[in-house]
A and B are shown apart, each in its own frame.
Chain A
Amino acid sequence: MKRRYFRSVIRFLLLILLVQPLTLMGAPDDSQRVTVIRAGRVITGTGEVLEPGEVVIVEGKISLVGNQLEYPKNARLIDAPGQTLMAGMILARSSHGLQSLSKNGTNCNWSPLRQLNEESMPWDDFLEAGFVAASLVPAGSGFPGHAVVVKTTPESSDRVIKAAAYLPLNGRSPTGIYSSVGKGFDAARGEIEKVKKAREKWDKEQEEAKKKAEEEAKKKDGDGAATEQKSDKPEDEKPKEFEPPQMNPAVIELVKILEENDDALPIVFFAQNPGLILHLDSAISSVKELKDRDPLSIFILPGSRTGAFHQVVELLTERKATVLVPPALSAFPDTYTRIYIPVVLARGGCSLVTLPAADNLAGMRGVPAKLAELVRYGLSREDALASVTLEPARLLGLDDRMGTVEEGKEPHFVLFDTDPLEPGARVMKTIIAGEVVWDREDRR
Chain B
Amino acid sequence: MISNFKSFLVMLAVILLVTDIPFTGGTSVQLAGVAEAQDPPRRRRRGRRPQPPPPTPEPLAKEEPLDEPEGEYLAIEGATIHTITGPVIRGGTVLSKDGKIVSIGVDIAVPDDAQKIDASGHHLYPGLVAFRSNGLVGSGEAEKSQDPFALGTVTGLAAGITSTWNGSRVSKLIRGQVTDLTLRRQSFISISYRSGNPGKKKELREALEKVQEHLRKMEQHALEKQKDPDAAAPDDKWIRGPYAIARSLLLAEKVAISRVSTIFDLREICQLARRFGFKMIIEGAEEAWIEPGLLARCGASVVLTPRSRRDRDESRGAAGGSSIENARILHESGVPFSIMPASKGIALWGLAGRDLSHLPLEAAFAVRGGLPEDVAVESITIEPARMLGVADRVGSIEVGKDADFIIMDGDLLSYMSHVRWAIIDGKVQYDKMEEGLLDHIRPPGEDDPPAPDDHWPRRLGDPL
A: residues with CB less than 8 A from B are: 173-175, 178, 273-275, 278-279, 282, 308, 311-312, 333-336
Contacts and interface: CB of A to CB of B under 8 A. Distances in A.
Interface stretch (B175-183, B184-192, B233-241, B423-431): B175-183
A278 B436 contact: no
B436 A174 contact: no
Given A175-B144, A335-B436, A335-B456, A282 B179 contact: yes
B392 interface: no
Interface of B: 138, 143-150, 176-179, 435-436, 452, 454-456
In the A-B complex, the 6 residue pairs with the closest CB atoms? A334-B436, A275-B147, A275-B148, A308-B149, A311-B149, A278-B178
Chain B, interface SS category: loop
A335 B455 contact: yes
Nearest to B175: A311
A336 B453 CA distance: 11
Contacts, number: 42
Contacts of A336: 436, 452, 454
Q: Which of A275, A278, A282 has the most CB of B within 10 A?
A: A275
Chain A, interface SS category: helix
A347 to B, nearest CB: 21
B144 A311 contact: no
Contacts of A335: 436, 455-456
A178 B144 contact: yes
Contacts of A178: 144
B178 A282 contact: yes
Contacts of B179: 282
Contact of A282 (B143, B150, B454, B455): B143
Given A334-B436, A335-B455, A335-B456, A275 B144 contact: no
Given A311-B176, A333-B436, A334-B436, A278 B454 contact: no
Given A174-B145, A278-B177, A335-B436, 7 more contacts: A274-B148, A275-B148, A275-B150, A278-B148, A278-B178, A282-B143, A311-B176
A279 B176 contact: no
A174 B141 CA distance: 11
Contacts of A308: 149
B149 A275 contact: yes
Contacts of A175: 144-145
A308 B436 CA distance: 14
Nearest to A312: B149
A308 B153 CA distance: 13
A278 B178 CA distance: 7
A311 B150 CA distance: 11
B149 A279 contact: no
B146 A174 contact: yes
Q: Which of B147, B177, B454, B455 has the most CB of A within 10 A?
A: B147
A312 to B, nearest CB: 8
A329 B435 CA distance: 21
A134 to B, nearest CB: 32
Contacts of B147: 174, 273, 275
B148 to A, nearest CB: 4
A273 B147 CA distance: 9
A335 B151 CA distance: 14
Nearest to A308: B149
Nearest to A335: B436
11 contacts: A273-B147, A273-B149, A274-B148, A275-B147, A275-B178, A278-B148, A282-B178, A282-B179, A311-B149, A311-B176, A336-B454
